Every structure is written in C-alpha cells, then in structure tokens.
Amino acid sequence: MPYQFKNIFVYQSAVEKALIDPEAFWGEIAANFHWFSPWKKVMNCKMELAEFNWFQEGKTNISYNCLDRHLTERGAQTALIFEPNDPNEKAQHISYTELHARVSQMANVLKANGIEKGDRVCIYLPMIPELAISVLACARIGAIHSVVFAGFSATALASRIQDCTCKLIITADGGFRGNKELDLKIIVDEALLSCPSITKSLVVKRTHSTINMLSGRDYYLEDELQKVTTICEAEIMDAEDPLFILYTSGSTGKPKGMLHSTGGYMVYAGYTFQNVFDYQEKDVFWCTADIGWITGHSYSVYGPLLNGATTVLFEGIPSYPDFGRFWEIIDKHQVNQFYTAPTAIRSLAKEALSWVEKYDLTSLRILGSVGEPINDEAWHWYHKNIGKENCPIVDTWWQTETGGILISPLPNITKLKPAFATLPLPGIKVALMGEEKQELIGNEVSGSLCIKFPWPSIARTIWGDHQRYLETYFTAFPGYYFTGDGALRDEDGYYRITGRVDDVIIVSGHNLGTGPIEEAINDHTLVAESAIVGFPHDIKGSALYGFVILKEEHTDHGKLREEINQIISDQIGPIAKLDKIQFTSGLPKTRSGKIMRRILRKIAEGELENFGDISTLLNPELVAEILKDKR
C-alpha cells in the first residue's frame, strides 16, 4: 500500500506535506482507492458553517472497495472469521469471494423488499456475520444504514428508528451473549408498535427460539435469500452521498444521529487502519467492539476490508465461558493486532494471570486501546502480560463524530508514553483552547481539545438537525471543531486525554449523556427531579451516581431504586443503570436555576470538603444535608 508510513522518514515527510499542502496530501491518499470517476476538487469546507465537501464530484462505492476490488488478488483469502459465543460452536471462515457473493445477495433482498438508494435501513443484530453483511449490502446499493447496538431497549430502538424514519429493519430471533439469550425479536416487536415508517422486517435465525412473525411485515432472511441471485452491481455513489447514521448520546435530549458520507469516511477509515495498526499482508486483525458502535464500524468492518485484511468478529463476552476467552481466541486464530477497551483490560487484569498464561500469544504484534482514558496500571498490565513487552500499544483517541482515529501513536514510529494518546496523525491539526477561548500555544498546557482543520471523515451533520450540529460542536470556539474532551499537552508535545468536559459520562467505554437518563428517572411517578454525575470505578472507569428528589417521602428506598433502574433499563438499556442512588430533598443550584454538577461530582467522588465557592448557590445549606445523608 503506497500510503503506508513504512518508517520515520516517510512519516515525517507525510507530516510536512499535510501541513504545507493538505489538498495534495489527502488527494494522494485517496488515490489508493477505487473511484468510478475522479473528484474535481479534494476539499471544499467551511468549518464555521459545518459544511464539509470532500472529493467533490468523485464517484465511488465503499462496498466495491471492500470487496470487488480484492477479488482477483485475494478472492480465496479469509475476509471474516466469525467466532461464536459458545467455544464449542465451530468458527466460520468467510473468504472475500464468499463475502462478496453474500453481500450481493443480501443487497438483492433489500432491493426486492423495496429499498432504494437513500432509504434508511435499521440493523439490530447480534455480532454475527449477517451484521457485517447487512452493513455492506446497504452500502452496496446506497441505502443508509443505521446500526443500533443490540443491547438497547425497545424505547431506545424506537426513538432511533423514528428519528431517521427507517423503512426496513434487519434483526434476529435472538442473540447469544455469555450465558444469556437476548430476545431481540420481542424487543423489535415492541419498538415497531410506534414505528409506522417500517414496512418490512427481515429476521435472521440465530437462537431458533419461538417468535411471533407478523404476516405481511416479518420475513425470515433465509427464505428471502432463496429468491434472489448473488449478483448485484455496486451502485455508483457520489463521494458526499450519505453512508450511515450512527446515534451517539448528547448531554441533553434525544440522541444525535451522526451522519457520515461515503468518500471521506472511506478514505479516512482505510488510511488510519493501515497506519495505526501497521497492517501487513495476511495479518489477522481483531477489534472486540460491537459493530453497534463506531469502533466496530470503522475497525471491525470498513477499515480492515478496505485494506484486504482478515477481520475477526466475536459474538460473545470476555468472561464466558471463562476469563481466558479473549486469550484463547488470539491463540486459536493467531491474531496479530488486538484492539479493545480499557474497561475490558481492567476487568481481565483483576483475574488470575493463569488465564493468560494458558495461551500462546506470540502471534500478537500490536495492541490497541480505545473508548476512554487508559490508566497507567491497566496500560502496564496490558503491555507486560499480553504484549510481553514486545508489542506497541496504540492508545487511539477519536469519536463517533470523527469517523476514525485522530490521535494515536504509530507503531515503531512514535515513542510510547503510557496513558498518552501521543500525537495527532498526519493531516490532523489539534488545538487546546483556554478559558478565554484563545488557542493555547506551546507545551505544558491543558484545555479544551479542538480540531482546527477539517479531515475527510468528519461527520457531515446530525440527521435532520444541522443547527444542533453547529451549536454542539462549532460554536464554543468559532472556526474550531470542539470535541467535548479536555486534554493536556506535555513537555514533549504529547497529548493526554483527561476526560469529558461536558455532561457526557463514559461508562465501560460507552458514551452516556446525563440528559436522557435524567429524563428516564423523572418518568417515575414519585420522582420530582434528578441529576446524574459520574464517579471513579475500578473496572468501568466511571460509574453513574444519581441524586433523586422525590415528590413525597417514601419508606421503601430499596424498591424505589430497583424501579428507577428498571425504567432506565427499559428506556435506554441496562448499560445506563445507576450504581448508586441517593434520595435528597434538593439539588444545589445556581441563582439562575442551573444544577451545580461540580459539587455533586465531588460528593459522588467521596469528597467531604473543599467544595470551592458555594456562596453563589441558591441553597448552600443543602450541601451539608446531602453530605450527611451520604454518610
């Protein structure tokens, strides 16, 4: 691959080129992909208006680039290894030729069921091959996929379907996750009661459990596949045609449907996969993230397949049937690059080392981390026990909105520093902003993390709400993209991400906005008001602490806590349940009525004093009261 930074010299010249002539830099990278017809201009962007146009008028198709392009050279090579939840079930090896045929067939099923270019298709599936196949099939015909993580509840699923008016849903009878079975079709049935835009649902048989099939709406996928051929030409797509919508939590209100477009996302996912993971021919790459999250989109499916790699899809969880499961899979499939989240590392690090030592991990060359800051201890455990001190750890910082990795070490090029995401990739211009909204110059500073120059895979908008997109990301620091994170730049110019500076809390690597959770809690008939903050947790990184005001006193707090968590689970999903709930008579508020979360955060963290200036509070006496109840 010509866009590979083979050594420090190639890397340095790329950094320079990207700085001096970004258009030429990105044009050269994009030239490594297949275009039905070339672009007229590399970029035409207006950061202040959040208008981004990359590879203007270029025509391409990402599914073509992931599949067709590889057929002559590597048709027989394994594209996808499916490792089932149950280790006794046989793994599947799907070649590029077979994947191409299955994606084409799936694309024909979508067409036969009325899906056309631009239509939205919801995908609510467990981590089985059909999930990757469905994503690629949508891309093949220009339908916009909206994958919803199969751990979300019926209410959360419904709100995502309604927001982008999906026409069809692809789901399964159920899914296996550890020793649990997920009743996916039951959840879908409930969601569809309030989703009139959906006219068809395609159901994959996975658990073979008994389900209801609504005549005229629900069809088994296996029956539909029988009716069509395995030949489907890839649709010619404009570089700026939408590729997918993926929802992410906001600090308030409904989830934001981040819209990514075809050409820019493709170029960036391919470029970053190649370089951050130092991909070499025949490598086996494993990203443990579910395709329901951006990490799974970019680095389980698109990034690896764009580069002709072999990618592992794992249906299960790290602790089932035992704590050796991850290490067993690495050994079994001779994985070369392993990419996971700090929360998984922390949970496995607390188990006996014998789980690791049972397996041969010598195939590993690169380790990756994503989703939240990795603490020193977890970094060292990972480096020593999994990488045997031989594998660089790429601590990759990025977001659903960025489409791909923006800040990360490059293996064998960047000198590592534990818990530092280190440096922006060539082509990415990072800025730290101070309290006065000025850019902080020089090293040893910390501030709000912003990006000051567009890159190809920046989200194009929030589906249906460009104003919200502008307000959320482009108004805090005009002319800059504001990430919502804080970061520091140390004496070497390296970046360390310090965490969110807004009301998003990252629990086990999942972004959770406080707003939607508070709204769910407030739906309980006895709740008057609530506020959620994060507090440090050994395994999850952060956990949720809820302060809840009741409308009237109630004696059975245990039962109330259970009911509140049940509502959260129903409306959002079990991942958003609170670890701690404290009932209180009020919340500390400013005179303008804003909840002082800073104080609640300190209380949740176990701070007993040092609350700073609380004189501006409307109700300063409340702080002592909340503290008393906590103890």
Q: Which residue ranges make up the site for ligand PRX (CB under 6 A)?
A: 248, 294-295, 369-373, 395-400, 421, 483-485, 497, 500, 506, 511
CA 489 – CA 588 distance, rounded (Å): 33
Measured from the CB atom, the residue of 135 and 548 that comes closer to ligand PRX is 135
Measured from the CB atom, the residue of 202 and 430 that comes closer to ligand PRX is 430
CA 251 – CA 255 distance, rounded (Å): 9
Tell me which amino acid residue 61 is.
N
Grouping H, G, I as helix, E, B as strand and the rest as coil, residue 357 is helix
Nearest approach, Cβ of 288 to ligand PRX (angstroms)?
12
CA 156 from chain center: how many Å?
16
Nearest approach, Cβ of 369 to ligand PRX (angstroms)?
6
Within 10 angstroms of residue 344's Cβ, the number of other Cβ atoms is 22
Nearest approach, Cβ of 595 to ligand PRX (angstroms)?
21
Residue 144 near residue 138 (C-beta atoms within 8 A) = yes
Measured from the CB atom, the residue of 137 and 410 that comes closer to ligand PRX is 410
CA 1 – CA 194 distance, rounded (Å): 48
Nearest approach, Cβ of 213 to ligand PRX (angstroms)?
34
Measured from the CB atom, the residue of 62 and 450 that comes closer to ligand PRX is 450
Measured from the CB atom, the residue of 484 and 546 that comes closer to ligand PRX is 484
CA 172 – CA 85 distance, rounded (Å): 15
Nearest approach, Cβ of 405 to ligand PRX (angstroms)?
8
CA 413 – CA 7 distance, rounded (Å): 7
b or e along 32-42 (b: 16 or more beta carbons within 10 Å of the residue's beta carbon)?
bbebeeebeeb
Measured from the CB atom, the residue of 369 and 584 that comes closer to ligand PRX is 369
Nearest approach, Cβ of 185 to ligand PRX (angstroms)?
27
For residue 600, what are the contacts with CB-CB under 8 A and spacing of at least 6? 531, 533, 545, 547, 587, 588, 626
Check the CA dihedral 331-333-339-345 and report its sign.
negative
Nearest approach, Cβ of 471 to ligand PRX (angstroms)?
17
Measured from the CB atom, the residue of 258 and 284 that comes closer to ligand PRX is 258
How would DSSP label each residue in 130-148? HHHHHHHHHHHHTPEEEE-
CA 410 – CA 560 distance, rounded (Å): 49
Nearest approach, Cβ of 451 to ligand PRX (angstroms)?
12
For residue 560, what are the contacts with CB-CB under 8 A and spacing of at least 6? 524, 526, 550, 554, 581, 583
Nearest approach, Cβ of 483 to ligand PRX (angstroms)?
6
CA 347 – CA 496 distance, rounded (Å): 22
Grouping H, G, I as helix, E, B as strand and the rest as coil, residue 585 is coil
In 420-551, which residue ranges form alpha helices assigned H by DSSP? Answer: 466-473, 514-522
Nearest approach, Cβ of 99 to ligand PRX (angstroms)?
25
Nearest approach, Cβ of 157 to ligand PRX (angstroms)?
18
CA 117 – CA 232 distance, rounded (Å): 14
Residue 232 near residue 140 (C-beta atoms within 8 A) = yes
Measured from the CB atom, the residue of 297 and 577 that comes closer to ligand PRX is 297
Supply 72's token pair: 């002559």
Q: Is 252 exposed, middle or buried (0-12, 13-18, 19+ CB in 10 A)?
A: middle
Closest CA to 22 of 267, 358, 215: 267
Cis link prior to 321 (omega < 30° from 0)?
A: yes
Measured from the CB atom, the residue of 53 and 343 that comes closer to ligand PRX is 343
Nearest approach, Cβ of 509 to ligand PRX (angstroms)?
7
Nearest approach, Cβ of 497 to ligand PRX (angstroms)?
4
Nearest approach, Cβ of 591 to ligand PRX (angstroms)?
31
CA 449 – CA 481 distance, rounded (Å): 9
Measured from the CB atom, the residue of 176 and 481 that comes closer to ligand PRX is 481
b or e along 530-552 (b: 16 or more beta carbons within 10 Å of the residue's beta carbon)?
bbbbbbebebbbbbbbbbbbbee
